[in-house]
Amino acid sequence: MHQQLRPLFDRIVVKELDPARMRRSGLVVPPGTNEPPPQHGIVLAVGPGLDWWAQAGVHMPVRPGDHVVFPASAGAWVEIEEERLLVCRVVEILGVLDRREDDEDQADRGDG
């Protein structure tokens, strides 16, 4: 039986992406720093929001499939069917990574 975690209220479910230890510049980030860097993940599921949000015209700022950045201290980690998932409030998300059009143009030209 396949299980899927459905978040409640203003919570979201995020699957963490493996953190890249090597930066674009070639710098290797050593493990064991005092403050863990922000982490990246893909939103798998989004709760309905809080009941007063609809009256105030507030909508969830993320949707499934969004690539998000979150602090290491965000939410709670759960394991569902041997998959480690983050469940956190949407306000804990630092931002959504969007692909810029000029990046796509460079990729098309082979410049990037």
CATH of the domain at 41: 2.30.33.40
Provide the domain count of the chain.
Answer: 1
* Model confidence pTM above 0.85: no
> When comparing pLDDT for 2 and 21, which is higher?
2
Report d(CA 112, CA 103) in Å as an integer: 7
**91 belongs to a structural domain:** yes
Residue reference for tokens 């069917």 = 81
Give the residue numbers spanning the domain of 59. Answer: 11-17+36-109
> When comparing pLDDT for 49 and 110, which is higher?
49
Report d(CA 63, CA 47) in Å as an integer: 9
